[in-house]
Amino acid sequence: MFKKALEWFIIIVSRIIGDKHMKLKKILMYLIVALLVIGVGIAFVVIFNFDNPQEEVVPEITEDEVFKLYNSIPENPMGYGATYPAYYTQYNNLSNTVVLSAIYEYILDYDASKLTSITTADLPPSIINNTNYGKITPLYKVSTSTFEEFFPKLFGKDKLDKMNIEDFRYDYQTLAEIVDGYYYIFMADPLETNTNDIVFHDMTKYLVTENNKTIEIYDYYLKCDLNTNNCYNDERKTKLNSQVKYSPNFNINNYIDNLVIYKHTFNYEDGYYYWCSSSQDN
């Protein structure tokens, strides 16, 4: 179609100029063709850029940043189910206690200025008068909006509508209660439990893929019950590791080949890597 239109255009120009001006006609023809080619090229570039915006360039990540990500992997010492299960785990598999605990730990480790130290005088009556807590040691006060601010950095902004702000227990002794838009974090008498576990886990390697958009962190995990000396491959102690037995002189380095390796995947979004999934790698 383009070729046909060009031929008709040249015929019309030829009739207007005439055969006596053949040289001028050829120059004009070449000029018109060149202009048409340039116009088509510009239009192509404009359309291409409109439909396919340039991808964000993700900066290279440092080892310090990788270790920071590793330390932000959601865990829970009480075995509420976090990122070391016997199955593939994503956000929907995490308990809300694990999610809120991970945010609190991230703030505590990397942005403690958001936390305000408090005394007993700062605690609301609803906490002070709760006889179930026993001896109370006040720790911090932090707004619930701060938790909402940090949530996307750990779990991605597309999950923000699933976030549930509520009271939570960080560990056997540390609790967080909401009063008037603030978390009051304090220590109380520890829960009575016969749990006596020790956990071993450490990063073995990491991979950066998809032009720095994805980071995979690999580590081993082992939880040993000091009451029985049995050791397990998962956080909830459902998968016994028959190759390992705990003892007073136990050295994890002697059992590396017998341990389960986990893979934790982080994706890049809006300047941050957020945790996406965890699963056993072998």
Full 3-state SS string of 4-38: HHHHHHHHHHHHHHCHHHHHHHHHHHHHHHHHHHH
pLDDT at 79: 65
Paired tokens of 143: 């707004």
pLDDT at 191: 85
Select from 152, 187, 222 the last residue of a domain.
187
pLDDT at 74: 87
Task: Examine residue 71 and state whether it is found in any structural domain, yes or no.
Answer: no
Residues composing the chain: 282
175/230 same-domain check: no
Select from 137, 168, 187 the last residue of a domain.
187
Task: Examine residue 34 and state whether it is found in any structural domain, yes or no.
Answer: no
203/132 same-domain check: no
Q: What residues make up the domain containing 206?
A: 197-280
165/227 same-domain check: no
142/176 same-domain check: yes
Q: Where are the beta strands (DSSP E) in 180-255?
A: 182-187, 197-209, 214-225, 230-232, 240-245
205/275 same-domain check: yes
- Angle at CA of residue 201, ends 197 and 204, nearest 5°: 170
pLDDT at 46: 42
Task: Examine residue 240 and state whether it is found in any structural domain, yes or no.
Answer: yes
**Beta carbons of 265 and 278 less than 8 angstroms apart:** yes
pLDDT at 29: 56
Distance CA 79, CA 68 (A): 22
74 Cβ contact list (under 8 Å, min separation 6) = 82, 83, 94, 98, 99, 101, 102, 154, 275
Select from 160, 187, 214 the last residue of a domain.
187
Paired tokens of 116: 């305000």
145/214 same-domain check: no
Distance CA 217, CA 190 (A): 33
Task: Examine residue 65 and state whether it is found in any structural domain, yes or no.
Answer: no
pLDDT at 207: 96
pLDDT at 16: 53
151/233 same-domain check: no
pLDDT at 49: 47
173/248 same-domain check: no
219/241 same-domain check: yes
pLDDT at 85: 84
205/183 same-domain check: no
Task: Examine residue 84 and state whether it is found in any structural domain, yes or no.
Answer: no
Q: How much is the pTM?
A: 0.76
pLDDT at 107: 96
Residue that has been written with the tokens 């750990």 in this structure: 154
108/181 same-domain check: yes
* Host H or E run for residue 260: strand 260-269
Q: What distance lies between CA 51 and its chain's CA centroid?
A: 28
Task: Examine residue 48 and state whether it is found in any structural domain, yes or no.
Answer: no
pLDDT at 25: 52
Task: Examine residue 11 and state whether it is found in any structural domain, yes or no.
Answer: no
State which residues of the chain have pLDDT below 70. 1-56, 79-81, 282
Task: Examine residue 78 and state whether it is found in any structural domain, yes or no.
Answer: no
| Beta carbons within 10 angstroms of residue 263's beta carbon | 17
Q: In the chain, how many domains are there?
A: 2
pLDDT at 19: 52
